[in-house]
Structures are given as structure tokens and as C-alpha cells.
Amino acid sequence: MSATDIVSLGAAALREKLARGDLTAVDVAAACLQRIKTEEPRVQAWAFSDRDLVMRQAEAADQRRLAGPPLGPLHGLPVGVKDIIDTADMPTENGTIIDAGRRPSEDATIVARLRAAGAIIMGKSVTTELANYWPGKTRNPHDAERTPGGSSSGSAAAVAAGMVPLAIGTQTFGSVIRPASFCGIVGFKPTHGLIPRTGVLKLSAPLDTIGVFANSVHDAALLVDALAGHDAGDPDTRVAAPPRLSDIAESDPPVAPRFAFVKTPAWDEAETATKDGFAELVEVLSERCSEVTLSDPFADWTTAHRILMQAEMARNLEAYYRRKEGLSEQITGALDSGMAVSATDYLAALACRDALSRELDRLLGRYDAIITPAAAGEAPEGLGSTGNPIFNGLWTLCGVPAVTLPLLTGPNGLPVGVQLVGRRGEDGRLLRTARWLSEALRQAGQDASVVLGEKP
């Protein structure tokens, strides 16, 4: 196979060829490195990439296969890792000049699990400054004059540009779902606490969630299966057997799923083409979809999210704050605001989160998934912002799983994601529903341009 053919394959297809011996890990790694060499000058997705280190990993993977022991579930698959996740053999600079040259002494738990699963770590993908709003250097692969989103900008762009089949990001507001939407790939933010965060830059423990990027729902599930599970270093993980998401995602639902179309209180911020596209999507789903209005308490979710995010950031990033001459005004302002949050307001925000989570759990007891925008529209022009995360933060606050599918196309021919939200802890059911929706639209002949009312 040519390098072009190899990088066009998804993770599941590559895994099968690697397992059969049709491809070696060296073949796959070399193809991805060639793609990086071609695309990186334009996309700039990587904070660190070392060809020799990658090839040594690939050669070791091939030697393990020849030696005969059982292979890991990600054997030979290249994965990009966001540059706020510690790696012992690569720098982790957290998107800030303050950490320039920082070399962690050990791997984050999820990096250790990647290695144990046989993955090839291709490098560290660009993050915005301290995983916040100030943009990094990465550009959108579909249009280099537009943002790829953030803060997991490099991870999303690397998958969308075909540099890697899989990548890891994090979400505290909308940092997985939004960039996946802008870049036209699958982004999955699991239930809060499903994947451990030990060794990952901490912003806000009640909100921080590890997420993944892939080209299909199945591929995303394969990666999460290798990462999920209890870790003593992260008290939000659960002592329970991790779910087999890939098996559930590939299964058929017992009955056709039912969807709740939720505009959210941010609907006025959606672009006209996005509103029109969702109107047509709801029409296509017909009796399988009902419009549902969230109750009044949801109107103030942004206040609770802001307090939890800023107060926790002020605590967790205090060491950076003391050296704020290296920080952007945006970060400094957020930390200033966090320092001023009272204990009463913080506890009220936690209570609001818990109340909204219970209400959402009741709603999702009647539907398989909520369907809602992943972003206001296409990736905005310009590189001075990572776009508006307003359609993501509510689901992050409530800790529920969310996935975005590249099902729509905007008026400029750029991707627009359809976000599905599931019940807390029912990640497999959500991914199964997402796969059902993708296949149902394809079988109905509803490609992206038709759904949005643009010409085919």
C-alpha cells in the first residue's frame, strides 16, 4: 500500500491489517510521518515531533509482534497526545513559554495505558495557552485562514489532516467537541471521570474531562476502551470494570433511537445556516425526534460553569499566576476573577451543577440522546480566537457524555457538527445511537449539503 492509502484508513481498518501482518507498524508510522512532513507547514498541529523516536517505537512494536506475545488493542496505531499530558520521553510545555523545555519525570496514566496497549505516540499536539482561550499556532486543515477551535486544536487538526488516525484532547468548556466540529471529524467527550487525569494539567476538577478525536465512532470507542478505568491518582474515576464501548457502539440498538432536539438557551447565538440545517435534520428524523425545551434553571448554567472554572483555575494555576509576566491578558484576567470567587458562590455553583445534572438525567430517561449543535456554525475566519464554546459548556458542567458527528456542511462548504448528548454513564449507548444516526442518514441519502439545504 502507498503512504496515501495507509493514512486514508481509519484506526479499526489499520488495526486489522496490522494484526494480519498486511502492514507493519513501521509502514504505518512512516506513512503518518510523510503526511506530517507534507501537511505540517500549513496546518502546524504539532508542538513536538521526533521522527527517530517515532520509528524506534514502531520498530519495537514490530519486534513484539514477531516475538509472539499477545498484542495490545492499539498495536501499531499512531496517536497524537495533547501537550498538557505528561510524557516522560517528550517535552510537555502546556502551551506556555513559562514551561518551555519542561520534561516530566514520568508518563501520565493515560500515556502509560497507550504504551501498554501498543500505541505509537507520534508527538505532542498543540494546545492553547494552559488549555484556555489564547490561540496556539494551529490552523484549520480545511481553510488555513480559519481557526481549528481550541483548546485541543492540534489534536483535532492532526486527525482531520490525516497525520494520525487518533488523538487525545481535553475538555473543560468545549475543547473537544468544538474543534472536532470545526475540523470535520468525530470528537467524543466521555462521562466525567471515565478516563483518569493523573499527570494532566489540572484546570478544574469538577469539569476537566479527557476526550478523543477520530474519523469514526468505532475508532473513537477503540481509543477510549484503552484509556478508561479507575486510577487511584484521580478520585473522580470509579472502581468498576470499564465498559467495552467498541462492542456496544458496533451493536444494533434494540429499537430505533428516539432523540430530543434541544436548542439550549444559546440558540440565538447559532448562525442562520445552522438553525436551518437542524430544522431539516429534525424533519428527516420525523417521529424519531421531538423538540424539548429545557426548564428555567438551565438558563443560568453559564454562571455556575464560570465560577467553577475560574475559581478552580485560580487555585490550580497559582504557580503560573505568580509568574504572570509570561501569561496573556486573557489568562491573567480569568485568574483575577477566580481569586475573587467567594466560598458561598463556589458552593452554590456546585449545588446548581448537581441540580441540573439530576434534571438532565430525568430528561434522558425518556430519550436515547439529545441532539443539538456542536458549535454556532462553521469555523470562524481569523486566528485570533478559537470560536464560541457556548453549545458545549452545559454538557461539560453536568458531566454527561457528548459526541459530535461531521454530518452538516455550512454555506462556505466547511463542516458543521451535530452534537449528541447522552445520559451520564451510558457512553456505549450514546455511541451506538451516534453510529445509528450516521448510518440512517447515509441510507436515506441525506448527505451534508442536502441536510443544510445547500446544493449537492
Show which residues are catalytic. 82, 151, 175
Question: Which H helix or E strand runs over 24?
Answer: none
The cell numbers describing 389, all together, are 464554546
Query: Could you tell me which of 253, 261, 182, 250 has the C-alpha nearest to residue 222?
Result: 250
Evaluate whether 18 touches 77 at the Cβ level (below 8 Å). yes
Q: Which region holds residue 125: left if phi is over 0, alpha if psi is between -120 and 50, else beta?
A: beta
Q: How far is it, in rounded angstroms, from Cα 212 to Cα 80? A: 10
Specify whether the CB–CB gap between 82 and 125 falls below 8 A.
yes
Q: Is 418 helix (H, G, I), strand (E, B) or coil?
A: strand
Residue 315: CB partners within 8 Å, gap ≥ 6? 338
Classify strands 166-171 and 78-82 as parallel, antiparallel or unpaired.
parallel
HEC-encoded secondary structure of 154-211:
HHHHHHHCCCCCEEEEEECCCCCHHHHHHHCCEEEECCCCCCCCCCECCCCCCCCEEE
Q: How far apart are CA 418 and CA 415, in angstroms?
A: 10
C-alpha cell at 21: 501482518
What's the Cα-to-Cα distance from 134 to each of 152, 220, 292, 330, rounded to whole Å?
12, 27, 35, 7
- H helices within 8-70, ranges in order? 11-20, 25-43, 51-67
